[in-house]
Structures are given as C-alpha cells and as structure tokens.
Amino acid sequence: MSAIEVKVPDIGDFKNVPVIEINVKPGDVIKADDPLIVLESDKASMEVPAPQGGKVLELKLKVGDKVAEGSLILTLEAEGAGATVPAASAVPSPTPATLAAEAAPATAEEKPAPAVLEEDKIAGRIAGPSPIVGPGGTLADFGNVFASPGVRRLARELDIDLTKVPASGDKGRITKEDVKAYLSGGKAGPAGVSGGAGIPEIPAVDFSKFGPVEEKPLSRIRKLSGPFLHRSWLNVPAVTQHDEADITDLEAFRKTLDEAGKVAKPKPYRVSLLPFLVKASVSVLKEFPDFNSSLNPAKDGLIVKKYWNIGFACDTPEGLVVPVIKDADQKGIMQISNDLAALSAKARDGKLNPAEMSGATFTISSLGGIGGTGFSPIVNAPEVAILGVVRSKMAPVWNGKEFIPRLMLPLSLSYDHRVVDGAAAARFARALAMVLEDIRRLAL
C-alpha cells in the first residue's frame, strides 16, 4: 500500500509556528482524531489531530521545527485499500480561566456538541489571560528549569513562573502535580487531594468498606477546569446579587421574531432570549463601566475596557466552553442571533478557533433550558462579574389594583467585591431588569 502524506491544516494566518510536542512515533497505529502534534503560536496552543486511522511510517518534523499550513507532518499507511486523507483541522488548547458553575445555553439551538478534552491536549478553549512572556515579548520557555515540554507548556497556559514552583520529581524535576499544587497554593500530593495555602487537605477514604462503589474518572475538561475554579474560589471574594425582571412584553416580541425567522428565506433562523440578554448587558455595562473591567493588583487599580465582548457559557457532556460574541455593542438582536448560531455550529463541528473563545469582558451563564430558581455562578476571572439566569416563570404581580399574571425572569449577578460593592451591584441588576422589562430603552 502506498504511503499518504499528512500535512498541517489551515491554522489561520499563523506562519512559522513552532512544534512544541510530538505525540506519535514511527510504527504507532493511530485512530482518527488521535493527537499528532501540538503547535504554539503567540496567542494559543493548537493540537493537530489525525485525519484518519492508520500506521505511522515516518515523521517529517521534530520538536522545535517551525511550520505553516501545508507543512508535512508524517507519512501514514492508511486503514483500508485506496484510502485518502480527509482534511484535518487544528484545535486550540486552553488558557487559564474560571468557568461559570454548571451552565447551559438558553435554547437547544445554541448548545454545542461535546468537546473532547484532556489535561494538556485539549479540544476546546476556555477564555482567559495571555500566557506569560519573557524579554522582548517572546513566550517564556523556562530553559533553566528541569521540566518536560508538556509541563513547560502547562505552566505557560496557567500563567505560572516555573522558576518559583517547588519540585517533587526525581532529581529535582518539576511535575504537573507540582504546577497544579502551586496554582492552588498548596504542596504536591496524590492526584485529586490537594489544598490551598493554610487549608487542610481532604483525607482519602476507602468508601468500598461501606458498600459497592464504582470508580469513574473525571471528564478531561473538568480535570483542566478544576484548578481554575479552585483558584477563583480562593482568590475572588465573590458575592451574588439576586433580582428579577418582568419579561412578559419582551417574550411576546421574541416569539414574533422567532416565528418570522422559522420561515425566513433563504435560510431560516431562531431567536432565543440570549441575544436580548447580551444586548441588555452591554447597555448596562456602558452605564456601569467598572463591571467591564479587570483588577490590576500590580498597579493598584482597574483596567477599564472600552470594548464589549460577551461570553456565553455552553454546556456539553464533558463540561463547559465559553464562546464569545465580539463587539456586541455594534450588533443588533438579529446579528447577535446569527453569531450565536454560527458559533454553536462551529462548536458542534469542533472548528472554533482561539479568537472565538477569548477576549470576553463579561459572561452570561444560562440555565434557562433546564430550570432552577437561582444560583451563584463563579466569576470568570480576570472578569469581575458574571450574570446567571434560570428559567422564567409566570407569577402573580400586583399592579396597584389587582394581581395579574406576568412572566418573571430570575437574575443572579456574581461580582468581585474588591472591585464592586453591594450598592453598585444592586443598581446594576435593577438597571438590567429595567432594560429587559422595556427593550425600548436599548434605543436610548
């Protein structure tokens, strides 16, 4: 059988991207979507999966080589006679961030397909701060520390200086457990059993002594997001402000748009509540700019952003991903709806690129498609606030003369108390409710 060539797929405008990991060797039998190599640009890491199964014949590059679209990766003896290689697609790896607690998109149309993630080879991206850089703006390579390439890359993604991480491996090698323990402020220990600085560790328990048990591994995205959530929980003094909005009139208008969209030509579309939440949030963020900022502890101040990018937390069986609606202030309800649909479709196809999952200034976490009466989403640091919404419900509302049925939407605003005080949070939540109650305010 003749060998076929596997090349670097479309990776956008990136050129001369270094290869930081090679995950296969000659003789390996691989399956479609198995990771072949990992590339690292100045913005994100990208994993290149196998376009199909087969046997690796020969590698055509090595760690440190710089590649671009079309560069030859390896030759492959493909499964099945006369097989051809379909186009591969590079998948971005994550940078650090905390995620909203167990969120779901507002409607089924906005729900992406499951992402396949692993601890340091991830298909999907969580928005977060840029990796640390060395002199001249280059990515830090920690050449003076004893650690594997995977550990070095993990440290860059977690924004951790490896020179400050205590080593527990043989001969002073820094391990992934060391990096995770440093992130949590604790010391290295058994996987899954670590505490923050001054926080006692949870002791291991043999639960099988009490009855039948089943050991089930964490999903790979939860293995990754766990330290980020822990870091946010320990470092961000978060408070949640609850309110509710009367969306009776908004829902009637939304249904009108949605019904029209179902028969639109040439392509039907759907309109959910989420685009209205995005647009209303932008309006109120402009009124309360501190909510669209990030804390700058090194300079004892705030970085107030003059752009409005809204992340929305999407539920998958593996965990959460957060695509971002860019420049939401410049878009109307219909364009935001289209952006949501496009991002969701790309998520289902596994084609979201790093730019589509980075740069959020404020996040919305919606459980509206599931239910609940309220929850406290975890602030997606370095953002300073996140909005949580659950399913709306009909409730009797007093209008001054009588109780009338109105559709009420619960709102939960979590915020970093170092940046936002309770009075400001209450005003923000009330202003958001007022915009949702009368969307004509969006035109003001």
Structure tokens at 295: 């804390």
Residue 444, C-beta contacts closer than 8 angstroms, at least 6 positions apart: none
Cα–chain center distance at 152: 21
Q: Taking the C-alpha atoms of 283, 284, 285 and 289 in order, what is their torsion angle to the nearest 10 degrees?
A: 120
User: Of the listed 55, 222, 417, 430, which one is catalytic?
Assistant: 417
Structure tokens at 276: 């209205």
**C-alpha pair distances (Å), 78 with each of 8, 73, 82, 249, 367:** 17, 15, 8, 58, 44
> Of 264, 440, 292, which is closest to residue 362 (Cα–Cα)?
292
Q: Taking the C-alpha atoms of 27, 32, 35 and 38 in order, what is their torsion angle to the nearest 10 degrees?
A: 110
Whether the CB-CB separation of 94 and 64 falls below 8 Å is answered with: no
Report residue 270: phi and psi, to 5°. -120, 150
- Which sign, positive or negative, has the C-alpha torsion 430, 432, 435, 436? negative
Whether the CB-CB separation of 166 and 37 falls below 8 Å is answered with: no
Structure tokens at 406: 């109105």
Report residue 95: phi and psi, to 5°. -115, 165
417 counts as catalytic:
yes
Cα–chain center distance at 198: 29
Return d(Cα 48, Cα 55) in angstroms, integer.
17
Whether the CB-CB separation of 31 and 22 falls below 8 Å is answered with: no
Whether the CB-CB separation of 313 and 99 falls below 8 Å is answered with: yes
* Residues annotated as catalytic (active site), given as ranges: 417
